[in-house]
Amino acid sequence: MAVCTVYTTQSLNSTFTSSTTKSHLGFHQKHHHHHHQQLVLFSSNGKKWWSSKRDDQSSVANRYVITCSAGGQQTVVIGLAADSGCGKSTFMRRLTSVFGGAAEPPKGGNPDSNTLISDTTTVICLDDYHSLDRTGRKEKGVTALDPRANDFDLMYEQVKALKNGVAVDKPIYNHVTGLLDPPELIKPPKILVIEGLHPMYDSRVRDLLDFSIYLDISNEVKFAWKIQRDMAERGHSLESIKASIEARKPDFDAYIDPQKQYADAVIEVLPTKLIPDDNEGKVLRVRLIMKEGVEFFDPVYLFDEGSTISWIPCGRKLTCSYPGIKFSYGPEIYYGNEVSVLEMDGQFDRLDELIYVESHLSNLSTNFYGEVTQQMLKHADFPGSNNGTGFFQTIVGLKIRDLFEQISASKAKAPVEAAKA
Give the pLDDT score at 124. Answer: 93
Neighbours of 176 (CB within 10 A): 8
| Per-residue pLDDT at 204 exceeds 70 | yes
| Per-residue pLDDT at 41 exceeds 60 | no
In sequence order, the β-bridge partners of residue 288 are 267, 342
Average pLDDT over residues 17-43: 43
In sequence order, the β-bridge partners of residue 408 are none
Which residues lie closer than 8 Å to 142 by C-beta, 6 or more apart? 132, 148, 149
Give the pLDDT score at 28. Answer: 38
| Per-residue pLDDT at 82 exceeds 50 | yes
Give the pLDDT score at 234. Answer: 65
Could you state, in order of their start, the residue ranges of all structural domains in the chain? 74-215, 264-410
Q: What is the pTM of this model?
A: 0.78
Give the pLDDT score at 233. Answer: 62
Give the pLDDT score at 61. Answer: 41
Give the pLDDT score at 119. Answer: 85
Cα(286)–Cα(272) distance, rounded to whole angstroms?
Answer: 8
Give the pLDDT score at 112. Answer: 87
Average pLDDT over residues 10-29: 40
Lowest mean pLDDT across 85-94, 130-139, 164-173: 85-94
Q: Which residue has the higher pLDDT, 108 or 280?
A: 108
- The answer to whether residues 163 and 75 touch, using CB atoms and an 8 Å cutoff, is yes
Q: Which residue has the higher pLDDT, 248 or 57?
A: 248
Mean pLDDT of the chain: 80
Residue 362: what residue type?
S
Averaging pLDDT over each range in 17-26, 29-38, 340-349, which range is the top one? 340-349
Distances (CA, A) of 207 to 122, 184, 212, 292: 19, 25, 10, 18
For helices 351-360 and 371-378, what crossing angle results, to 10°? Answer: 150
Give the pLDDT score at 146. Answer: 93
| Per-residue pLDDT at 166 exceeds 50 | yes
Nearest to 110 by CA among 198, 180, 187, 199: 180
| Per-residue pLDDT at 52 exceeds 60 | no
> Which band of pLDDT confidence, cut at 50, 70 and 90, is reported for residue 72?
low
Residue 169 gets the label, from left (phi > 0), alpha (psi -120 to 50) or beta, of: beta
Calculate the CA 87 to chain-centre distance. Answer: 11
Lowest mean pLDDT across 22-26, 216-220, 264-268, 337-341: 22-26
Give the pLDDT score at 232. Answer: 64
Question: Percent of the chain having pLDDT more than 70?
Answer: 77
Average pLDDT over residues 381-399: 86
Strands 180-186 and 168-173: antiparallel
Question: Percent of the chain having pLDDT more than 90?
Answer: 41
Average pLDDT over residues 308-326: 85
- Return the HEC string of the chain: CEEEEEEECCCCCCCEEEEECCCCCCCCCCCCCCCCCEEEEECCCCCEEEEECCCCCCCHHHEEEEEEEECCCCCEEEEEECCCCCCCCHHHHHHHHHHCCCCECCCCCCCCCCCEECCCEEEEEHHHHECCCHHHHHHHCCCCCCHHHECHHHHHHHHHHHHCCCCEEEEEECCCCCCEEEEEEECCCCEEEEEECCCCCCHHHHHHCCEEEEEEECHHHHHHHHHHHHHHHHCCCHHHHHHHHHHHHHHHHHHHHHHHHHCCEEEEEEECCCCCCCCCCCCEEEEEEEECCCCCCCCCEECCCCCCEEECCCCCCCCCCCCCEEEEEEEEEECCEEEEEEEEEEECCCHHHHHHHHHHEECCCCCCCCHHHHHHHHCCCCCCCCEHHHHHHHHHHHHHHHHHHHHHHHHHHHHHHHHHC
- The answer to whether residues 40 and 48 touch, using CB atoms and an 8 Å cutoff, is yes
- The answer to whether residues 343 and 337 touch, using CB atoms and an 8 Å cutoff, is no
Cα(155)–Cα(131) distance, rounded to whole angstroms?
Answer: 11
Give the pLDDT score at 14. Answer: 38
- The answer to whether residues 119 and 102 touch, using CB atoms and an 8 Å cutoff, is no
Domain with residues 74-215, CATH architecture? 3-Layer(aba) Sandwich (3.40)
Q: Which residue has the higher pLDDT, 206 or 379?
A: 206
Average pLDDT over residues 24-28: 38
In sequence order, the β-bridge partners of residue 117 are 104, 122
Cα(72)–Cα(18) distance, rounded to whole angstroms?
Answer: 11
> Which band of pLDDT confidence, cut at 50, 70 and 90, is reported for residue 254?
very high
> Which band of pLDDT confidence, cut at 50, 70 and 90, is reported for residue 304?
confident
Give the pLDDT score at 418. Answer: 61
